[in-house]
Amino acid sequence: MARVSIFFHAFLSFYVALSRAAPSYSEPPTVTKRAAPPASTVCGDIIRNASLVVPAKQAFDCLTSVPFNAAVATRFLQYFNDTIQFQSNLAYLKNPPSSYQQGPADIVGGLAQIQTAIDNGKFANEYEFEATLQALIFSTHDAHLNLIAGILGVFTFGSSYDIASVSLDGIQLPKVYFSDDLTDSENDGDWQPSAISQINGLDAQDYLNDFAATNAIGSLESHADFNQLMTSPAQDIQTIFSTWGGNSMFYPGDELTFLLENGTHISTNWWAVYTYPSSTGALETGGDFYNFFVLGYYPASYDPNATESSTAGPTAAATSAATSTAQEAPAASSALASWDNVAYPNPDIAQPGLGTFGAGFVSGYFLKQSSVAVLSLPSFQEPGSAVGSFSDTVTRFLNASKAAGMQKVVIDVQQNYGGDVFLAVDTYKQFFPNQEPYGGSRMRATNPTNAMGDAITSYWQGLNDTDADYYNFYEDEWMPLTRLNADTNNNFTSWSEFYGPHIYNGDSFTTTQRYDFSDNLFSTLSTDDEDDDGFTVYGTDGRPANTTQPYAAKDIIILSDALCSSACAVFMEMMHHEAGVRTVVAGGRSSYGPMQAPSMSRGAVAETIDSLDYRIGVAQQLLQESSNPTSANFLPNRTTATDVWITYADINLRDQVRKGGDIPLQFVYEAATCRIFYTPKTFYNYTALWTYAADAIWNNAALCVQDSTGYSTTSTTNTTAPPSSVLPSPQPSTSTDPKMGSIILSVLSGSSPSAHAPILDTGAPTKQGQLAYEGTPCSSTKKCPTTDYFCLGSTSLKCDAATKKPIEGSFCVPVCNPNQGGKVVTSTCTNFGNCQPLNATVPGFANTGGTFAKGRNGYCDPPVPACRSTVTQGKFGNGNGGGDGDGALDPPEKRGVIQLF
């Protein structure tokens, strides 16, 4: 069935067989449940057994054995508090408008409460501290605010029983079923699956609503929270776990029981997925886990310079049972690429590389009986090598659909978590070539923002286009002169013009900015496009439209499952509010009424903490060299401000606002034109789903969910929500732990635990960042020194100083886990690449022997350097804190500014 389900069940089958016991009816799981001190080597048991999947209780025992260090936590909270001041929507989160469907969240106040708990000795272990902090972050419901650090990201939790919510006829309220039962009954056709009546002794809908409220990430209403739990083919093709099926961050409990409506009892257990892909050395105790995952230190016994015989094989602790063998890919075929998923038909148009393990995302389908063409866009996140083909495939789809006589278009953006905003704009312009999108956004105006912007902008103004830093900072967030003032539609002329500040909702913001979509250099740098001519948005001066508008707005609909985020939400905003295209949203809780179509982050840009820290350092260096060096003290030195090893983190740097409006779109209610329920025939058959959505808009309005129509508007000023009578009832978490929208610390009351200061092993521990093989040439036998790296062939990491062309060769890149389940963070690769699965299509695969350890079957695919013939080395190198001296302009890293809208 589903790709993710197969992957998960392959590792769980023998565990599930052992878990059938008498039903146990328990209270809802808690987030920071207290536990008796577990066995001291429980963490070591997991590491030694090299298991990707372990019982949830074993992972929980490991996590709660990790000691807590109050001093380290205090320093990290101050560092994070300084970071959160750049979060653009703090004031609106604390005091949201009535249209916002989640609760208020005082992030700064919550951090202060956590610090008080630290001071009062409330945290018995590291897990309690990190779970409380993460619950506060979850309370923002912002998919652009993420933190993966410490021990909480080491495991994710889930069930081996995938679930789906369907209405039997599309009209009556849906119930929840096991996904396998639904697909099996549709295939067999001779039996009716039974719905799930109870979970752990509670009503199934109530249990799942509560589970979603606690564990769903970054969605703007409870309907979208609920959809995150469900099986989705659009999720499966991207190898993402559902929140229920393996992507829950909090421990859900040990036992899991189901009671079906037909009386069947099923007893099983929750499972934990170990997500760390690289070697850890010999970790045995909770203290070892703290030293490695919190502080970033290997055990003293670990030699990072030791060589190993295999590049991508198992670690020393792995066994033959922990491996799977990949087969060589068949010879190239002239057949059109497809998703290889039963829910998707064979495409009529496909982007080169389309597939779960390829770089292509765009596919087109012609439903000839209804003259409806379908454009499937599950992501806008492309590597630089595929940016051009993404745009070209949309062009081919439009040309071919018109030639085939298609009269209407469905654009499917289910499970689209964003990507490059310029690809979203380019797609919009191909449908509406004569319309100029607005795309207004603004930053929070603070003293650090002002100090950074003034320093970096002044520095850039003194450069010319032969200096590498001219390109390094051309699209920088703190250098606005290449962006448009939304009030004048001209480029900003100074930092002060950009900075403002302007007061909204009691907070200060910069002047609203817009992109100049005609700026070929900006769009090329933003997308990391690798074509010689760069990337130009369709319908702009450099790439003028050569056709008329292909379809009228009334003949286009967008289909969403509410899990449309970032660049996807920007795309939907342009298509719906600026062009008038109608929207259809599927799924949601078991209730009637409207539902929002883009219901995840509607922010304008996510800034990684790596990128933020780098730019703070750049500004501080510039100010230290100025006539007023003390002005560099606007923030503490970020390289020494915290001891915690941060795998990945980002904040929402810019709000998105409409022309003439001041409320961030994150807080505006955005009802779909029509809401539909999934049915047994449509939830895993997209031909049927696309036809059903098209019929609901163009042929039979009765297919729309009761009370769901009449609330959609294209008005730029109407931000009100529908009446509460048709909205789902609020669904806060009912656990006794930190809840969405607030911090509940009473669970942590009791006697103060003794100090838990981790003690490093004797010897000289090695910091994780000290492994220095990334980017080094492979050996003559195409190997890397350790199994933490894979020898990637036929790639380019640097530019030749003489020819100014990329140097092609074989280089060592980090291994990673492509099935980590992160749906918000697109990559935790340190080289700003994307974690891609290792298979026979990857250059260098043949040298691995085709055998990989669990969780180590991917590689960090690096971006190709953009070489320019007239560039000299800049003061700040490639934008990552230093250059390599070869005169290259490395990709401007989106530079950690993941325009993943």
Residue 477 tokens, joined? 């967030």
> Residue 250: is its pLDDT beyond 70?
yes
Which residues, including other chains, have CB under 8 Å from residue 739's CB and lie 6 or more apart? 135, 139, 214, 732, 733
> Residue 141: is its pLDDT beyond 70?
yes
Query: Which domain CATH number covers 684?
Result: 3.90.226.10
> Residue 582: is its pLDDT beyond 50?
yes
**CA–CA dist 434, 448 (Å, integer):** 40
Q: Are 186 and 109 in contact (CB under 8 A)?
A: no
Candidates 864, 853, 766; CA nearest to 311 is 853
pLDDT of residue 618: 96
Give a yes or no: residue 818 inside a domain. yes
pLDDT of residue 531: 78
- Domain carrying residue 816: 768-898
Residues 684 and 574 in one domain: yes
pLDDT of residue 899: 27
Which of 48-52, 57-61, 370-374 has the lowest average pLDDT?
48-52
DSSP state for residue 466 in the 8-state scheme: T
**CA–CA dist 605, 595 (Å, integer):** 24
Q: Using 50, 70 and 90 to split pLDDT, how confident is the model at 687? A: very high
Mean local confidence (pLDDT), 206-213: 96
Which of 129-138, 236-245, 774-783 has the lowest average pLDDT?
774-783
Q: Using 50, 70 and 90 to split pLDDT, how confident is the model at 856? A: low
Which residues, including other chains, have CB under 8 Å from residue 190's CB and lie 6 or more apart? none
Number of other residues whose CB lies within 10 A of the CB of residue 2: 25
Give a yes or no: residue 883 inside a domain. yes
**CA–CA dist 409, 839 (Å, integer):** 35
Q: Are 480 and 455 in contact (CB under 8 A)?
A: no
pLDDT of residue 8: 36
Q: Using 50, 70 and 90 to split pLDDT, how confident is the model at 313? A: very low
Mean local confidence (pLDDT), 174-197: 92
Q: What is the pTM of this model?
A: 0.84
Residues 776 and 722 in one domain: no
More confident position, 778 or 770: 778
C-alpha dist (Å) from residue 901 to 195, 600, 821: 37, 10, 19
More confident position, 275 or 801: 275
Residues 834 and 714 in one domain: no
Q: Using 50, 70 and 90 to split pLDDT, how confident is the model at 877? A: low
Number of other residues whose CB lies within 10 A of the CB of residue 303: 11
More confident position, 741 or 670: 670
pLDDT of residue 738: 31
> Residue 32: is its pLDDT beyond 70?
no
Give a yes or no: residue 478 inside a domain. no
Identify the sign of the CA torsion 67, 70, 72, 74.
positive
Give a yes or no: residue 64 inside a domain. no
DSSP state for residue 767 in the 8-state scheme: B
Residues 889 and 784 in one domain: yes
pLDDT of residue 616: 97
pLDDT of residue 663: 96
Which of 232-246, 520-534, 782-796 has the lowest average pLDDT?
782-796
More confident position, 375 or 715: 375
> What are the residues facing 268 on neighbouring strands?
256
Q: Using 50, 70 and 90 to split pLDDT, how confident is the model at 593? A: very high
Residues 843 and 710 in one domain: no
Q: Using 50, 70 and 90 to split pLDDT, how confident is the model at 688? A: very high
Residues 792 and 877 in one domain: yes
pLDDT of residue 763: 37
- Residue 425, Cα to own-chain centre: how many angstroms? 20
C-alpha dist (Å) from residue 630 to 452, 457, 627, 854: 14, 19, 9, 51
What does the buried/exposed string (b/e) look like for 397-425 if buried means 16 or more CB atoms within 10 Å of the residue's CB?
bbeebeeeebebbbbbbbbbbbbbbbbbb
More confident position, 898 or 607: 607
Q: Using 50, 70 and 90 to split pLDDT, how confident is the model at 280? A: confident
pLDDT of residue 701: 97
More confident position, 278 or 195: 195
C-alpha dist (Å) from residue 153 to 59, 247, 622, 647: 12, 10, 36, 9
**CA–CA dist 383, 400 (Å, integer):** 25
DSSP string computed for 559-616: EE-S---THHHHHHHIIIIIT--EEEEE--SSS-S--BSS-S---SEEEEHHHHHHHH
> Residue 764: is its pLDDT beyond 60?
no
Residues 774 and 669 in one domain: no
Residues 886 and 829 in one domain: yes
Q: Are 887 and 870 in contact (CB under 8 A)?
A: no
Residue-wise pLDDT for 315-352, tens only, equals: 333 333 332 333 333 333 446 789 999 999 999 999 99
DSSP 3-state of 8: helix
pLDDT of residue 107: 96
Residues 550 and 401 in one domain: yes
Q: Choose the final residue of a domain: 701, 726, 751.
A: 726
Residues 795 and 717 in one domain: no
Give a yes or no: residue 876 inside a domain. yes
DSSP state for residue 643 in the 8-state scheme: -
Candidates 614, 608, 652; CA nearest to 832 is 608
Q: What angle do CA 70, 71, 72 make, to 5 degrees?
A: 95
pLDDT of residue 695: 98
Residue-wise pLDDT for 803-821, tens only, equals: 656 778 888 888 876 654 3
Give a yes or no: residue 290 inside a domain. no
Residue-wise pLDDT for 620-649, tens only, equals: 999 999 999 999 999 999 989 999 999 899
Residues 861 and 775 in one domain: yes
Give a yes or no: residue 34 inside a domain. no
Q: Are 833 and 843 in contact (CB under 8 A)?
A: no
**CA–CA dist 767, 779 (Å, integer):** 25
Residue 625 tokens, joined? 């060299």
Q: Using 50, 70 and 90 to split pLDDT, how confident is the model at 708? A: very high
Give a yes or no: residue 653 inside a domain. no
Question: Omega of the bond prior to 501 within 30 degrees of 0, cis?
Answer: yes
Residues 709 and 796 in one domain: no
Mean local confidence (pLDDT), 162-172: 97
pLDDT of residue 854: 42
> Residue 698: is its pLDDT beyond 70?
yes
| Pairing verdict, β 53-55 and 271-274 | antiparallel
pLDDT of residue 52: 87
Q: Choose the final residue of a domain: 676, 698, 726.
A: 726
Q: Are 651 and 80 in contact (CB under 8 A)?
A: no
Domain count, the chain: 2
Q: Using 50, 70 and 90 to split pLDDT, how confident is the model at 717? A: confident
> Residue 881: is its pLDDT beyond 80?
no
Percent of the chain beyond pLDDT 90?
Answer: 63
